[in-house]
């Protein structure tokens, strides 16, 4: 190196050392690596330049040594700090998440919490905080893998174990009550999804949190789905529409074939769901009429339909910047109205309303109803 290159090198390293960030956890891992590079460069500079230095006007040998020692000591001090910070960056992210949540900055809090788990996926405090946030948002299915990690991969202290027990109890209670509430509202398909999550939870985690309620929840949900097929078929049969009746009898039979234990299951008396039509669904599950058309898969099956359907309006009032909750309510009402029109054999109007409901699904901000795609397909064959 000539004198100008030496001065440039020393100035460059001084700037890099000054700019090393020991406060922002997003920069700590990167700047830890930068500090390693600076130490390596200074070591090479000492060996290749200082050892063979010849005097020049820009800097004396004494000045060179002094600047080098200052830079070397400074980078070693910062590097030592970065070593510790880099090992504990997950905890720094966690503390920043707590701080943001306390200020009700949910978006920033979630960002820092996810970063904490990226750096340490088995940090119990971060897992517990994430689980509680998921529970607040009713994101039950996403909680299962985190719960397994918490119980089977982490090492918890006494306080963390107490928090885990409280959370697990709250998780079971909220999941069961939400599923049970959906059953009472005749949303058996949505209830089934939750009870199946609860079933996985009870099979994989300490059984002290579970009783046979979740099992009855699964069976009640499946019975509700079967009953909804029978109810629609009965209504179509009463109105002399054998094509619709035969199709839904066939859907019911296929569902029963895939869940044969429903033949002997008697729903608990506290189940308050109502049939779609005045006649109750059959209590003895007999073989049903068949049709030759292709049938949907089990994942396309219907949830139950409520007996009390809102009246069909000529048009829906415009909504300015609706929230996901408002969109979901509008969507559910459309589905129920479309089903009411179908039962009244106003297939064209029913088809149009199902298409309107389908367009609302584009927001991808709520759980969709299985009936929409199925009924659009069936009605399309009838009216075209």
Model pLDDT, residue 312: 38
Model pLDDT, residue 14: 93
Burial class of 107 by CB neighbour count within 10 A (0 to 12, 13 to 18, 19+)? exposed
Computed on alpha carbons and rounded to an integer, the radius of gyration of the chain in Å comes to 33
CB 156 within 8 A of CB 244: no
Q: Cα 211 from chain centroid?
A: 26
| Token reading at 372 | 């929409």
Find all residues with CB under 8 Å of 377, minimum gap 6, and list them. none
- Residue 369 is given by DSSP the state P
List average pLDDT for each run of 10 residues in the chain, which is 384 residues long: 86 92 88 92 90 80 90 92 91 93 92 93 93 90 87 87 86 83 76 78 67 60 68 73 75 70 53 38 42 40 39 43 77 81 77 89 79 81 72
Handedness of CA 224, 249, 252, 338 (dihedral sign): negative
Model pLDDT, residue 83: 92
Per-residue pLDDT tens digits for 246-276 = 777 777 777 667 666 565 555 545 444 333 3
pTM beyond 0.75: no
CB 305 within 8 A of CB 228: yes
Model pLDDT, residue 191: 75
Q: CA 133 to CA 377: how far, in whole Å?
A: 38
Find all residues with CB under 8 Å of 259, minimum gap 6, and list them. 222, 226
β-sheet bridge partners, residue 259: none
Q: CA dist 102 to 105, 110, 267, Å?
A: 7, 12, 45
Ordered by start, the domain boundaries in the chain are 3-87, 175-307, 309-384
Per-residue pLDDT tens digits for 241-253 = 777 777 777 777 7
């Amino acid at each position: 190196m000539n004198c100008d290159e030496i001065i440039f090198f020393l100035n460059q390293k001084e700037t890099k050392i000054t700019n090393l960030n020991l406060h922002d956890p997003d920069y700590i891992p990167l700047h830890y690596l930068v500090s390693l590079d600076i130490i390596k460069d200074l070591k090479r500079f000492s060996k290749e330049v200082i050892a063979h230095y010849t005097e020049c006007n820009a800097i004396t040998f004494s000045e060179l040594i002094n600047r080098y020692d200052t830079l070397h000591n400074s980078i070693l001090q910062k590097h030592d700090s970065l070593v510790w910070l880099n090992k504990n960056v997950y905890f720094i992210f966690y503390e920043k998440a707590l701080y943001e949540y306390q200020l009700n900055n949910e978006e920033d809090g979630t960002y820092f919490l996810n970063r904490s788990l990226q750096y340490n996926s088995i940090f119990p405090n971060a897992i517990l905080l994430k689980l509680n946030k998921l529970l607040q948002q009713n994101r039950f299915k996403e909680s299962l893998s985190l719960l397994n990690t918490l119980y089977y991969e982490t090492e918890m202290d006494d306080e963390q174990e107490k928090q885990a027990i409280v959370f697990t109890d709250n998780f079971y209670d909220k999941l069961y009550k939400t599923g049970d509430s959906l059953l009472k509202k005749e949303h058996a398909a949505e209830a089934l999804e939750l009870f199946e999550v609860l079933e996985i939870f009870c099979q994989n985690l300490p059984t002290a949190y579970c009783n046979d309620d979740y099992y009855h929840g699964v069976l009640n949900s499946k019975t509700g789905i079967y009953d909804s097929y029978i109810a629609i078929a009965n209504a179509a049969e009463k109105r002399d529409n054998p094509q619709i009746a035969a199709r839904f009898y066939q859907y019911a039979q296929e569902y029963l074939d895939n869940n044969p234990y429903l033949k002997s299951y008697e729903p608990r008396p506290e189940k308050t769901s109502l049939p779609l039509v005045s006649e109750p669904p059959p209590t003895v599950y007999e073989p049903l009429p068949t049709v030759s058309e292709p049938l949907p898969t089990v994942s396309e099956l219907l949830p139950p339909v409520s007996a009390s359907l809102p009246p069909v309006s000529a048009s829906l009032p415009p909504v300015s910047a609706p929230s996901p909750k408002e969109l979901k309510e509008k969507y559910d009402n459309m589905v129920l109205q479309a089903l009411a029109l179908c039962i009244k054999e106003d297939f064209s109007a029913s088809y149009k309303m199902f298409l309107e409901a389908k367009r609302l699904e584009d927001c991808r901000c709520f759980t969709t109803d299985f009936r929409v795609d199925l009924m659009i397909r069936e009605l399309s064959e009838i009216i075209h």
